[in-house]
Amino acid sequence: MQFQSEMGKSRRLIELFWAFFRIGPATFGGGYAMIPMIEKEAVSKRDWIKEEEMNELLAIAGSAPGGVGVNVAAFIGYRLAGVAGACAAVLGITLPTFIVALLFFFSYSFFEGNIKVEAALKGVHAAVIALVLVAGYRLAKSAIFDKTTIAIAILSLAVLAIAQINPIIVIATGTLVGLASIRIKSWLGVDTRTHAGKKLFAGKETRYPEYYI
């Protein structure tokens, strides 16, 4: 009996690892590009987690530090098989990108100096800037919507641009300011909206934020 449950557990770990391992390599465009594939593997194909749970999980995984794909993997792995399950799932989703990133780096080093490759990379450089800008724009739509959020954005931009300060300090300070302002607002009886509109996390089509990272 004991032996059989051990077998079942390690089989589950291997299954977790394999399911997330297959998702990793196909996710150009970062975290949120992984989500539809994770949903397919974990919700429709394997029934590891329920659809409604998945929606809330995405909201939380997107807000916690770290990549949303890795966070979702850790959560599902943990729910299914504890800490070992979380490790298996995260290892599965990270290992392929780890290897592929190194392979990209090696091939770049190999071709370094080739005029055509250098030119192509300059183009790709522009594309990566565009991806970053689009991610910023998408987040801005849901993040900056009232006076307080505008003020926080402008102040943190000024601090970052003028002082050579660790961004981590800006993040920590700004979060406290946001918390305090909501406290003060509710104390004063002012409207304490914390989202741009009510659409976010509500409708079927906005199950996860539109921005991807």
Partner 1 sequence: MRVKNFSREKKPGTRNIIYEKVDNLLGELFIAFVKIGLFSFGGGYAVIPSIQYQANSLGWMSDSAFGKSILISGMAPGPIATNSATLIGYQIAGINGAIVSTIGMILPSFILIIIVALFFYKIRGKQWVKATLYGLKPIITVLIFYAAFHLFVLGKEGSMLNWTIGATLVIVGLAVYGLLKYKLHPLWVIAGSGLAGIILF
Q: Which of residues 155-184 bind partner 1 (CB under 8 A)?
A: 156-157, 160-161, 164, 166-168, 170-172, 174-179, 181-183
Query: Which stretch in 1-9, 10-18, 36-44, 120-128 sits in contact with partner 1 by CB under 8 A?
Result: 120-128
Residue 27 or 42 having the CB closest to partner 1: 27
Query: Which stretch in 9-17, 36-44, 94-102 sits in contact with partner 1 by CB under 8 A?
Result: 94-102
Please return the burial class of 203, using the count of CB atoms within 10 Å of its CB with bins 0-12, 13-18 and 19+. exposed
Q: What angle do CA 160, 166, 167 make, to 5 degrees?
A: 60
User: Interaction with partner 1 in 9-68: which residues (CB under 8 A)?
Assistant: 24-31, 33, 56-57, 60-68
When asked if residue 124 is in the footprint of partner 1 (CB under 8 A), the reply is: yes
Cβ at position 181, least distance to partner 1 in Å: 7
User: Interaction with partner 1 in 74-93: which residues (CB under 8 A)?
Assistant: 74-75, 78-79, 83, 86, 90
Please return the burial class of 131, using the count of CB atoms within 10 Å of its CB with bins 0-12, 13-18 and 19+. middle
Among 14, 120, 163, 202, binds partner 1 (CB under 8 A): 120
When asked if residue 71 is in the footprint of partner 1 (CB under 8 A), the reply is: yes
Whole-angstrom distance, CA of residue 36 vs CA of residue 59: 14
Q: What angle do CA 62, 134, 136 make, to 5 degrees?
A: 55
DSSP 8-state code for residue 25? G
Cβ at position 49, least distance to partner 1 in Å: 11
Contact 21, 93 (CB under 8 A): yes
